[in-house]
Amino acid sequence: MRDGAPVTGPSRLSTLAVHAGERHPNPDNAIVPPIACTATYTFRDTAELRDHFEGRVQREEYGRYGNPSVAAVERKLAALEGAEDCALFGSGMAAISSALFALLRGGQHVVLTADGYRRTRQFVTGFLRKFGVEATLVEPGDYEALAAAIVPGKTRVLLGESPTNPYMRVVDLDRLAAIKAQHRGSGLKIVIDATFATPVNLQPLRRGADLVVHAGTKYLGGHNDLLAGAVCGDAGLVGAIRDLRGMLGGVLDGHSAYLLHRGLKTLTLRVERQNASALRIAGFLEAHPEVERVFYPGLASHPDHAVAREQMRGFGGVVSFLVRGDLDRTSRFIDRCRVPRIGPSLGGVESLIEQPALMSFYELSTAEREAVGIRDNLVRLAVGVEDVEDLIADLDQALRA
Ligand SMILES: *Cc1c(COP(=O)(O)O)cnc(C)c1O
């Protein structure tokens, strides 16, 4: 524990969140690791420089290759995920794009679900295509289609997300692992973006994933005050991704690492609170006469409820629902809410509410949005840590008005 020993069981997550990865005693005897605010590192003499390049000493060299504040958070997150190693990035998209660049080359193929994060989908199906990487999108929950989409010898990545946005689909990791097992020796890797789950609710590496990626911007940071990304997995894969990070340059800086570290200390407290509040709010909304339908994996009405119950420790803090009414009535409901603020993102202590039709899908027409499964009356609520009674009372007055 003192030197960030790896996790041995899922029951110690709170202790790990507080203590893992930290080094005590340190030169200042500081309980909080100091912020390493430096672009480069100095060498005592040429002999030390030679020792560094010949691997006789372990030390930092230059800011793009490493930073002690960043390394401390990498050790903590690796412990929380049960991973050998973790590499941090300046944003979730820097983490995802760098990981995929490291895993793939021209002529290879990715299978991903159609409901993945929009920028990830655009990166894989649009940008990577320029480098000769092909991609097949499959509908969430269709494991036959997913298995059939694999081209033996060519497909190198199965890219999933869990839970997804905005319908909170939960991927059955056991089924993914079984599909992967049919292609043993082909180099096929399972990569899961578990941003919405966090290691508190799901540890994909323990169920057969090869890499787990996070937008640390969301729950891991937890305070809507930083951008960060993370990739966790075995030392070989993460080492290759970290080497590429030194070239692509998407590193996290010391100040953001400090904020992320501070946020991680309360990760389990926040996520457990958000799980409990979101479950209550989902039940309240499902029974509300002004609500047409609720999408939350903790509800028996959700298509992935059984998988979520079996594979997750909690169902997460995001609830999506259809308000009875059209685009404008839904906007009026959102404008009447007083506690959640209107904005993209999720996972912070402040509740955030948005109408996907007017946020991520603004430039599309109603018909085009329906074609991609986004109704005008859809609302996404990212539950914060406010009192759940206040949130429920606020939603109720806004729905009834
Ligand atoms: C926000 C998000 C990302 C991107 O993270 P950034 O830090 O904004 O780059 C990726 N995946 C999911 C699921 C997200 O919610």
Active site residue 210: no
Q: Which of 195, 198, 380 has most ligand 1 atoms within 8 Å of its beta carbon, as the pocket-test mutant?
A: 195
Pairing outcome for strands 229-233 and 341-342 = unpaired
**Would you state the pLDDT for residue 363?**
85
CA distances from 41 to 38, 66, 245, 324 (A): 7, 10, 18, 59
**Would you state the pLDDT for residue 5?**
46
pLDDT at 2 over 80: no
CATH number of 13-265: 3.40.640.10
The ligand 1 atom at the shortest distance from the C-alpha of residue 91 is: 7
Task: Tell how far the Cα of 223 is from the centroid of ligand 1, in angstroms.
Answer: 15
Which H helix or E strand runs over 179?
helix 173-181
Active site residue 117: yes
Task: Tell how far the Cα of 228 is from the centroid of ligand 1, in angstroms.
Answer: 9
Which residues of the chain are in CATH 3.40.640.10 domains?
13-265
**Would you state the pLDDT for residue 278?**
98
27 — pLDDT class (breaks 50, 70, 90):
confident
**Six token digits for residue 176:** 């993914």
The ligand 1 atom at the shortest distance from the C-alpha of residue 164 is: 13
What distance in Å separates the CA atoms of residue 122 and residue 127, rounded to the nearest whole number?
A: 7
With a Cβ cut-off of 6 Å, ligand 1 is lined by: 91-93, 117, 120, 161, 193, 195-196, 215, 217-218, 227, 229
**Would you state the pLDDT for residue 307?**
98
- Which of 89 and 372 is assigned the larger pLDDT? 89
Active site residue 143: no
pLDDT at 360 over 90: no
Q: Determine the average pLDDT of the residues in 349-372.
A: 91
- State the chain's mean pLDDT as an integer: 95
**Would you state the pLDDT for residue 372?**
84
Q: How many CA atoms lie within 13 A of 320 on its CB side?
A: 21
For ligand 1, atom 4, which residue shows the shortest CA distance? 92
pLDDT at 1 over 50: no
Which residues of the chain are in CATH 3.90.1150.10 domains?
267-400
The ligand 1 atom at the shortest distance from the C-alpha of residue 116 is: 13
Superfamily of domain 267-400: Aspartate Aminotransferase, domain 1 (3.90.1150.10)
Task: Tell how far the Cα of 203 is from the centroid of ligand 1, in angstroms.
Answer: 18
pLDDT tens digits for range 312-355: 999 999 999 999 999 999 999 999 999 999 999 999 999 999 99
Active site residue 380: no
Task: Tell how far the Cα of 55 is from the centroid of ligand 1, in angstroms.
Answer: 36
pTM equals: 0.96
Annotated active-site residue in 193, 210, 304, 394: 193
42 — pLDDT class (breaks 50, 70, 90):
very high
10 — pLDDT class (breaks 50, 70, 90):
very low
**Would you state the pLDDT for residue 24?**
86
pLDDT tens digits for range 215-244: 999 999 999 999 999 999 999 999 999 999
Q: Determine the average pLDDT of the residues in 289-302.
A: 98
**Would you state the pLDDT for residue 371?**
84
pLDDT at 301 over 90: yes
Q: Determine the average pLDDT of the residues in 179-204.
A: 97
The ligand 1 atom at the shortest distance from the C-alpha of residue 228 is: 7
Task: Tell how far the Cα of 173 is from the centroid of ligand 1, in angstroms.
Answer: 20
With contact defined as beta carbons under 8 Å apart, do 339 and 382 qualify?
no
11 — pLDDT class (breaks 50, 70, 90):
low
The residue whose two tokens read 């002999």 is 47
Of 166, 105, 229, 64, nearest in space to 373 by CA: 166
